[in-house]
Every structure is written in C-alpha cells, then in structure tokens.
Amino acid sequence: MLRTLSSPPYLGLTSPFFRFSRRHRHFPRSYSAAAGASGCNLRWFQSPVAGGRRLFLRRVLRLSPAAARGLGGQFYGFSVRAVATQPAPSYPDVGQDEAERLGFEKVSEEFISECKSNVVLFKHKKTGCEVMSVSNDDENKVFGIVFRTPPKDSTGIPHILEHSVLCGSRKYPLKEPFVELLKGSLHTFLNAFTYPDRTCYPVASTNTKDFYNLVDVYLDAVFFPKCVNDIHIFQQEGWHYELNDPSEDISYKGVVFNEMKGVYSQPDNILGRTAQQALYPENAYGVDSGGDPKVIPKLTFEEFKDFHRKYYHPSNARIWFYGDDDPVHRLRILSEYLDMFDASPAPNDSKIEPQRLYSEPHRIVEKYPAGGDGDLKKKHMVSLNWLLSDKPLDLQTQLALGFLDHLMLGTPASPLRKILLESGLGEALVSSGMEDELLQPQFSIGLKGVSEDNVQKVEELIVYTLQKLAEEGFDRDAVEASMNTIEFSLRENNTGSFPRGLSLMLQSIAKWIYDMDPFEPLKYEQPLKDLKARIAKEGSKAVFSPLIEEFILNNSHRVTIEMQPDPEKASQDEAEEKNFLEKVKASMAQEDLAELARATEELRLKQETPDPPEALKCVPSLSLSDIPKEPIHVPTEVGEIDGVKVLRHDLFTNDILYTEVVFDMGSLKQELLPLVPLFCQSLLEMGTKDLTFVQLNQLIGRKTGGISVYPLASSVRGKDDPCSKIIVRGKSMAGRAEDLFNLINWVLQEVQFTDQPRFKQFVSQSKAQMENRLRGSGHGIAATRMEAMLNVSGWMSEQMGGLSYLEYLQTLEQKVEQDWEGISSSLEEIRKSLLSRNGCIVNMTADGKSLTNSEKFVRKFLDLLPENPSGGHVSWNARLPFRNEAIVIPTQVNYVGKAGNIYGTGYKLDGSAYVISKHIGNTWLWDRVRVSGGAYGGFCDLDTHSGVFSFLSYRDPNLLKTLDIYDATGDFLRGLDVDGDTLTKAIIGTIGDVDSYQLPDAKGYSSLLRHLLGVTDEERQKRREEILTTSLKDFKEFAKAIDAIKGKGVAVAVASPEDVDAANKERSGFFRVNKAL
C-alpha cells in the first residue's frame, strides 16, 4: 500500500552497467516509505526535468543530483534508521560438510571487493534451487526469492499471483499476513514486484529476529499460499463481476484490474508497453505480465492455480541472502522448506526464448486517451526503438553500451538529449535510453508533445544525430564528466533508503535468472578499468562509434511507434466495457443474477470481517522490549563562520563531503513564486559569461558528485509563517571541497538568464511532466490542492508544484515569446531576493577531518555572498478558495482525497497520533478502500507541522463511496476494540516508520530539516515515549479530531468526467468541476 505520496523508491540503484529505467514495467504490491515522528512531513519541489531522466521502479544507476534531478517529489519520510555504529557479529564460513548436512552443495565462493562481501553460491541437492549467500557487516539484512514467471497472454497472471500469495498461507492462515507485517514489523523494505519474466519477493530489516520473521512469512507465502484453494482471494486481487442488487448494473472489481486501468490511462505507459510488445512479438515480452484491463477478465481460476503449481517451485527459484546474519542459519531456514519438495521440470518450462531479429524496420500507430482541450495536433508522441542483439551481450559490450547511453542522454548537456529538446519539435523526451534488464537489451528514444506534421522530422532528426555522433564522436570533457559521474556513483554506493543488499540482488538476478553467472554483475572494478584503458589507448571515438553503427544505425530490428491523441478513446473504452457487461447481464437468468448478488455480498462480508485474535497470533512479531527507548542520535555541532550558522555532522562517509546551503525565501514577492522551480532549473542549465551551459554541466560532472537546487515549503507548528527555503545540495570527494563550493558559487551568482530558447524548453518540459503527474500521481495533486486551501505553506507548494503551477506553465509558454525581457528580469529579481548571508545556513556531513578542512572553502564561499537580500520581508497569507473540487482528466480510475486541520479542533499533538494514523491506514482504509473497494491504495497522512490530516486513494474505481468511508473513520475508531497484541504490533510498526533506515548523507540532511522546523531532540524523545505508551483510550479520543474532517473538511478528486457527472447528480453540486486536461 502506498504509505506516503512520494514517487516510488529507486530500485536497484548502483548497477555497474549504468542501467536506466524509463518505463514502470513491474508492479509493486506496496510502496514502502516512512512518515517520521521526528516531524518531517514536508513538501519539496524540484524542477520536473531539471537535468536528468526520471528514474523509475527498476534497477537503475543512482546518479548524482546533477544527473538525476527529475524527482518532482511529494511527501517524503526523513527520519530514518541508523547505519550500524558497532562491529557486526563475526560468523564462521559455511564449510562443505555443514552445507552437505543441510542438503546443499557449495558451487562457488568469492570475496567481492566492490561490495566488501564474501559471496557463496549454493545449490540445494534435492531440488536444484540456487542460493546466493552474501556476508558482510551491513546490518540492513536482505532476503529475496525470485521465480521465473513468463506469461503466455496479457491476463496478468504473474501480477495477480504476486498480490495473492501474500493473502494467507499454510502457517499463517489469516486474510493478509502481508498487512500484519506492515502493521507490526521493523522492516526497512517489504514488497513484491512483477517483471515481464520474473516475480520478486524481497524483505529487509536491521533487526535479526524481525528479519527471520519476515523471511518465514514470505517463504510460506510463496510455496504454500491459501489463494490456490480460495477463489475469493483470486476475485479480490484479480477480478470479479460485482452486483449489489439484481436491479443494478454489473461492474468489474479487483485490485489488479483497477491498478492496470490506471496504468493504461497514462500515455507514457501505453507507449512503453506498445514498444516492448512490438520489439518482442515472439516471446514472453510480447504480452503484458501486469495485465491488460481488456484481457484480465478472461483469466480463469484454474489457469491461475496451474500457473502457481507450474512455476512457484524451488527448482524454478533463485534465493538471495545478504547482510551480517549467520550464513549457516540461512541454510537451516531454507532446508526446512526446500526439503519438502522434489525436483521439477519448471526450469525448462520457464526458459525465456530469445527474440529473432527483424530483417526490416516496423512501424506502429496507436491511439491514446487525451483531453479535448488544447491543440490535439500538437499532442503526438513518437519513439524509435531497437532490439540491440539476438542474444545476451558480453560484459564488456554491455558496459560500453551503458556508458554510451549516459554520454548520449544522461545529462542536460548530453548531445542526443540536447539536440532533440533544442529542436523545438517536441516538449519532452519519452521512452529514452538503454534497458538491459531483460534477456536482450533494447534502446529507445523519442519525443512527446509533437505536432502531427513534425512526426517524420523527429524520426529523421534522431537518425541524423546518431549518424553525426558516430562520425564525429564525443567531446573529451563530456567523456571525462561521464566517467567521473559514473565512478563517483559506483564508489559512493548511495542507494538512499533503498537497501544496498536489494540493489545488489536485482543486479545479480538480471544475469542469474537467465542461467548466467550471478557473480559477474557485482564486479565492476576490472571491467571499468579495462574500459578506461581502452578509451585512453584508442580514443573514445574508436570505442563508441562502432557501437552506434552496429547496434543502432545498421540494425534492422527497429520499431517506430507513433501515438496519436484521441479525445474519444477514454469514453469509448468505458462504453465498450459497459456494453459488454450489459450483454453479460442480459445473458443471465434471474436466479443467476440473484446468485451473483449473493456471491458479491459473501465476498464483501469476508473482506470486511476481521481475522480472529487467535489467527493474528500466528504471525511472528517482536515485543516492546525489543524496541530502543531513545530515538536515533545524529551527531550535530552548531557553530558559525563569519556570522553564518553552520551545522556539522561528524559521520563516516567514505571520504565524501555532503553539503546543503539554505537560503530564506522570506523576501520573495508573492507573484514570483510560480517561477521559482524554473529559476532553480535555469541555475543548473544555463551558462555563465565565460561558460556555456554544456561546459558548466560538464565541469560539475568532472569535479563533483552533483549539484541540485530546489525550493522547500512547510508549516511550522505553533507559528503563522511557513518555513520557505531554497536548498542547494552538493557532494564531492572531500579532497575536492574547494571545487564543490566554487561551482556552487558559479551556479548561484554567475549563471546568466539570457537564453530564451532554453527557457522555453524548460517550460515545455515542465508542462509535459506536470501533465504526466496529473495522470499518474493524481493523489499527490489532490493532496497539494487540499493543503493549499488549508494553510499558507500548502498554497506555496501548490503554486510551485500543483494544478496552479500547471495552469501557470500553460500561460507562460506564450509569455516567453511576448515578454522574455520581463521574465529574464523576474529571474534576476528572484536571485537578488534569495542570495544573502543573512538567513543563510550551511549544513555539512563528513568525517571530522574533512569537515575541518572544508571550513576555509565555506568561508570563501560565504564572503562572496551579498550581506542582505534585496527587498524587505514578505508576509505570506494566501490560500485557495475552500471548496470541494473535481479535477477532471481523461482516466479510467480516480484519485480521491479529503482533508481537514485537526489542530483547529483544539487537538494537541501527541505521539499516539502516529500509531493511530498508521492503524487507520493498515486496517480501516486497507480493508474498505482497497480490499473491498478495489482501489490500488487507500491511505492517510498527518502533517504534524500544519495539523492537516489527509485521506487519499490511488487508482480508485469509486468516488463518493470512498469519501463516505473517510467520513466513517471516527465511528470506526469509537467502535474499535484492540487487544494488547494488536496495540503492541501497531506501536512497533510505528517505531519502524519513525526509525526507518538511513545512510550518513540522509542523516545529516534529516538533522538539517529538524533544525529548520524547530524539532528538538527533547521533543523527539517525548514523542517516542508517547508512541510507546499509546493506549486504546487515545484511539477513542482521536475520533473527535477525525470527526472535524467529516464535518469541516474539504474534498478534492482527480477523476474521470463520467464519475464526476454521476457524483454531482447524486449529490447536487457537490464538486466544483475544473477540467485540467
């Protein structure tokens, strides 16, 4: 379930092959994220396409901020669990005799210096199941089991099964052990996801007891699930006919069905799926493993059961363990499960056959659902896609192609990216880059926002540019910048809140799943060294030009996809579904309809009936004695340099310096606020007097690990004025601190706002990205809109990243042409109102010696800043009109929100609110909005700084029904009767969120945010104690605060026109309609 409104976490972040993922091709059961009790429910906004391609939920190279700035985030959890500060326990290696005794043979063993791990590949003798056991001192332990699951059609069996196996099992026969783990575990990752040819079930935890609990639940779930014997689970997670009364219409329901309706409402996703299926028409990739909503209802329960029987077998599994736990105990756990099975022919049945290469290029034209407003002739999309080889590539070639991909597309200065965007032929890149996570790699590049008469020109420009790159090669500085960026990222190994062990697992499995060497992807030092030596000896042109020619220009396996906007498609698809269901109903006798209504009620009753206490006790859990009584301490020294406040965090960072420079937005004129995201992008993507933007970008890449600039806005509890800042983040090797601060100064003070054509590109790219967010992350748009009606910081955030921002961008496009001088002047005015030593804060995270050595460079940087900003302090007091609103877009699913300020009721913040909010999300909303209602997600969030409590749903087939569920939350709390075990579980799960895993750079950043928002260590301790002593009485009392949302809250939905019309007919004038697309 989506726990916050952030983008999905980066998956598999430090691949040595620089894999970039552009299309969300696998489907997570839940997005793990934390809303921390340290009080950091913030909004921060970044220029949507400022300097990097969007990195989605797949194995990708985690680039520096300079190369991966397109985050456009919503809510993020910042308080995170610490990295180990004491030595890990030392365990003996697993000897051959010990392995044999447990039923395994040791196939190979190697110490891999890149991940500082001893890695052993075992094979279970009875079933042939392979196990990678990775041992090191990382306390964030990871387990994963992966099955090869090639689909034969687009009914979505792998995806539905991925959801369903976690709905109860032999040892854990309750409705959803997965949800119980969400409620009461200290997990740092808990999820499952489906690829086009495999299904992964990973978990992670820093607590050893908790970790093994998670492992046991997952092993029992995949091998002995209830779903193969319970058709209700299949109906709930997959699809079923729903009929509440024989007199009403039949509808489709199912979590995956509605999830995929949302996926198929997004043009970028439709393009990605069309391209994949056109490139691989002969194998498993030629169908949609996630499921096509038009095909999902063809899936039968018998086919579903057979798929599990065939592929969910140890012989067809790869198992991964990683971390500081006992490697012998790992095998002991596995042998208990694997010994119950005999060998199976599944590995032969599940093999992926390679796609044969075409002898000539193909072309496909498809329609996508578009709104009726605007010039549809300028809304075409076009992409060129190549299947690069008829077999997997060798390591050196794959490495070189990944490097080439980064050179061509990885930064704003990359030539293929730059030329396409500067051409004016389209608004933004789409489906761009190399993907090598499947059996055969592919390369795609395209544009969206293309005029109908420019489609052919885009194709010609792509081919021409590739030909020119093959002929001329790449600039030497560009090659050096790419190499430094890639090397820095690999050595930093910064996977954010995503477990490093899972990142490594996903890299390894990309070869291992195809019966190749699982060790190879983990070792990048020698291949990278060889590539650098080859470039030094032969020159980059000799290395990269032949690759462009062989794999792209002279490759006949090319598919061109043109996507045409169709304002009627969404309504036509809905009408087709409705007509089909009317025929289904017409074909049924009265007794059949009565039976369907009875079955619908039976399923609903089962979904809404809680598990008995005795069933819940079977799920293993921790006790409160396992929980630390104090919050995680981050060493923080507050001092000054030349009158400017400096925060220092003495932490081991592997010789890397992380820094943030914070400027106050208090002097910024209100009317300039919507221009701030574009101001931030301009700082990083325009040139100076002496450097072009390309040269500046390359210099950042050569000297640092990256620089990013973005605004931040948050309410501050107990204060009227919001916290509004511009944050400049940078990182470099500690020995290059001088370069880092010099470059930050150049970015802030030397960049000139004179490049009108580039700024026009920024506007077009941002508009396209916001339109995509509206379709794919409507819950975030709804949340921001509601907050804008409730407080000033919400209004600021909405002006910089919500619907108001999109509307501003739509008018700005023309203004760039008509009044560029005025816009350029406004950008300069923003700079003058922000940059000053007065109100500036510098935050640094590194080891003590590096911090001390960096101070002289900080002092020089600060000396160059103006003393005070231009203009006086501005008082912010703006909000959007308080009214229910429906933001109408062409979509098959809805995003439904309702919010209110509970502090306005007199409620005083108590740590119990974190426990109660989590419990509401994991019980009431999960059961009613997701399980019974069929939405992909239903969740709630308390912004502890503003007091805004928000309800939100994600890819929801309902609208008013979901709002009614929100309104009944107070009654749910009043009628709640939780036993001690349930309460303990809720408390532990909340602590797991509060203490979520964190690497050193994020620790320093979290500490900065707490400082900005006035959250002291004393308050953190107080909140923790309140969490640990939460009682049933607290739940009952919180119902009063929640009732205020029912009576005085505001509702915002991003929804289809049909559903909004129906809602306004049922409740006259309930929504004010705002047609957005």
Residue-wise pLDDT for 171-213, tens only, equals: 999 998 988 888 889 999 999 999 999 999 999 999 999 999 9
Q: At what angle do helices 912-920 and 980-994 cross, to 10 degrees?
A: 100
Q: Of 130, 139, 162, 242, which is the active-site residue?
A: 162
Residue the block writes with tokens 């509970």: 902
Q: Which of 733, 751, 965, 1009 is nearest to 853 (CA)?
A: 733
CB-neighbour burial class of residue 855 (10 A; exposed 0-12, middle 13-18, buried 19+) = middle
Q: What are φ and ψ of residue 286, in 5° steps?
A: -80, 0
CA–CA dist 916, 973 (Å, integer): 9
Q: Which of 9, 40, 23 is nearest to 994 (CA)?
A: 40
SS3 annotation, 417-478: HHHHHHCCCCCEEEEEEEECCCCCCEEEEEEEEECHHHHHHHHHHHHHHHHHHHHHCCCHHH
Q: Where are the beta strands (DSSP E) in 670-794?
A: 706-714, 723-733
Residue the block writes with tokens 């792209």: 552
Question: By three-state DSSP, how is residue 1017 classified?
Answer: helix
pLDDT of residue 491: 87
How far, in whole angstroms, is CA 65 from its chain's centroid?
Answer: 16
CB-neighbour burial class of residue 353 (10 A; exposed 0-12, middle 13-18, buried 19+) = exposed
CA–CA dist 243, 227 (Å, integer): 23
Q: Could you give the C-alpha distances from 1025 to 627, 632, 770, in angstroms and in order?
A: 11, 13, 41
- 119 near 111, Cβ under 8 Å? yes
The angle subtended at Cα 141 by Cα 138 and Cα 143, nearest 5°, is: 140
Q: Dig out the tokens for 361 from the structure.
A: 């290029």
Q: Could you give the C-alpha distances from 479 to 182, 400, 703, in angstroms and in order?
A: 45, 12, 13
H or E element that contains 1024? helix 1017-1028
Residue the block writes with tokens 């045409």: 564
Q: Which amino acid is at 883?
A: R
Q: Which amino acid is at 990?
A: T
Q: Which of 113, 112, 95 is nearest to 104 (CA)?
A: 95
Q: Of 139, 180, 237, 798, which is the active-site residue?
A: 237
CA–CA dist 916, 911 (Å, integer): 9
pLDDT of residue 15: 31
Question: By three-state DSSP, how is residue 195 classified?
Answer: coil
Give the β-pairing of 948-954 and 895-901.
antiparallel
pLDDT of residue 82: 28
CA–CA dist 33, 35 (Å, integer): 7
Residues of the chain with pLDDT under 50: 1-88
SS3 annotation, 542-583: HHHHHHHHHHHHCCCCEEEEEEEEECCHHHHHHHHHHHHHHH
Q: Count the alpha carbons within 13 Å of 475 in the hemisphere toward its beta carbon.
A: 15
- 792 near 874, Cβ under 8 Å? no
Number of H helices, E strands in the chain: 37, 31
pTM assigned to the model? 0.90
SS3 annotation, 504-519: HHHHHHHHHCCCCCCC
Q: Is 671 a catalytic residue?
A: no
Q: Which of 178, 978, 175, 296 is nearest to 615 (CA)?
A: 175
Q: Is 771 a catalytic residue?
A: no
pLDDT of residue 91: 60
pLDDT of residue 377: 86
Residue-wise pLDDT for 354-377, tens only, equals: 999 999 999 999 999 998 777 788
